[in-house]
A = this chain, B = another copy of it.
Amino acid sequence: MNITARTSSNGVTERDFTVGDIPGVLWSPAATSGRLPLILMGHGGGTHKKAPAMTGRAGLLLAAGFAVAVIDAPGHGDRPRTAYDEEEIAVMQRAMATGEPVGPIVERYNGHLAKQAVPEWQATLDALRELPEIGSDGPVGYYGINMGTAIGVPLTAIEPRITAAVFGQFWPGTLVEAARRITVPIEFALQWDDEHIPREAGLALFDAFGSTEKTLHANAGRHKELPRFEADSAVRFFTRHFSKAMTPA
Contact = CB atoms under 8 A, between A and B. Distances in A.
Interface of A: 192, 203, 206-207, 211-220, 227, 229, 233, 236, 240
A199 to B, nearest CB: 9
Number of copies: 2
Contacts of A206: 218
Contacts of A211: 220
A214 B219 CA distance: 6
Contacts of A203: 203
Contacts of A220: 211-215
Contact of A229 (B212, B216, B240): B240
A213 B192 CA distance: 11
A192 B211 CA distance: 12
A93 to B, nearest CB: 30
A34 to B, nearest CB: 26
A211 B229 CA distance: 18
- 5 closest A-B pairs (Cβ-Cβ)? A216-B218, A214-B220, A215-B219, A212-B220, A217-B217
